[in-house]
Amino acid sequence: MRVIVFFDLPTESVKDRREYSRFRRMLIKNGFMMMQESVYVKLTLNQNTAQMVVDGIKKNKPPQGLVQVLCITEKQFQRMELISGSSDSDVLDTDDRLLIL
């Protein structure tokens, strides 16, 4: 499963920028990777784990702004088409297991 978080938070005041930074740092600390600006994604093992991640986001949501969460399967995520630009990432983003003996 993939958990995708879309957010649009105000940044007019110092307090708003602080809340934006706090929310973004929370996502990164919890294993989310940035797909685009204000779009973060995390790979989870199953639907139960995805729901726990969503519950954590609900607990840490900022007081203002829009935060949306979408949970999709890995197969649905793989069907995403790249229309413009290029996918340039140094992060290994796969659900394959690595076993080194």
- Spatial distance between the Cα atoms of 65 and 5, rounded to a whole number of angstroms: 13
Question: pTM (2 decimals)?
Answer: 0.80
Per-residue pLDDT of 30-54, as tens digits, reads 999 999 999 999 999 999 999 999 9
Share of the chain above pLDDT 90, in %: 73
Per-residue pLDDT of 50-86, as tens digits, reads 999 999 999 999 999 999 999 999 999 989 888 877 6
Please state the φ and ψ torsions of residue 68, each to the nearest 5 degrees: -125, 145
Which architecture characterizes domain 2-78 according to CATH? 2-Layer Sandwich (3.30)
Q: What is the mean pLDDT of residues 9-16?
A: 94
Q: Dihedral sign, CA of 75, 72, 55, 68?
A: positive
Domain ranges of the chain: 2-78
**Contact 70/4 with Cβ under 8 angstroms?**
yes
- Spatial distance between the Cα atoms of 84 and 19, rounded to a whole number of angstroms: 31
